[in-house]
Amino acid sequence: MKTLIIIDVQNDFMPNGSLPVPLGDKIVPVINSINNKFDLIIATQDWHPLNHVSFATNHKDKSNFDVIELHGKPQTLWPNHCVEGTEGAEFHPDLNTKNFEAIFRKGTNTSIDSYSAFYDNGHLKSTGLTGYLKEKGITELYFCGLAADICVYFSILDAFNEGFNCTFIEDASKALDNVHLDKLKQEMVAKGIKIVNSESFL
């Protein structure tokens, strides 16, 4: 069963959002053009409480994009974004959601960040997505969304490590840092993760 996982296509990651991904809105029509090519579609949402540890506003004398140590690992401090129940946390209004089978929310724990659709950053808590997919007998996953070099990448990496065959749909994704993404793409290819464009589905 060919499965598409759409990562965090939310208002706060759009050009006018609180944590904009450059040209993030340009992927919406691309995703809409391919979402009828899959047997199953799963979407994720960042869904943070207002007092989330990753928000710079919750750290005295810290600024957006400062890096602190959290649970023994580096943690980037972000602008407040995708706060649960806010308009910024909603999907882009033009995203076609009618074929979504399920939505998995992440980053709900105040004390740890969660980039991946599968686990928090410390791998302390599963979102349940692995079990959901394996129960359905799914082996082949296609990923797109925002941001390509952060939440999409870490979702692909966790999925690969869980034994799924993974493909990254590059033109249905945008990165915060394209130079960094180029390095991550090299890593993905070296692992055997495929990279394609949407035209391969049309």
Positions annotated as catalytic residues are: 8, 106, 151
Q: Beta-carbon neighbour count of residue 76 at 10 Å?
A: 15
Distance of alpha carbon 63 from alpha carbon 70, whole angstroms: 16
Q: What share of the chain is helix, strand, coil (3-state, %, to 5)?
A: 30, 25, 45
Bridge partners of 73, per DSSP, are 70
Distance of alpha carbon 106 from alpha carbon 113, whole angstroms: 9
Q: Which candidate, 45, 32, 18, places its Cα nearest to that of 171?
A: 32
One-letter amino acid of 59? H
Residues 56 and 77 sit within 8 Å (Cβ to Cβ): yes
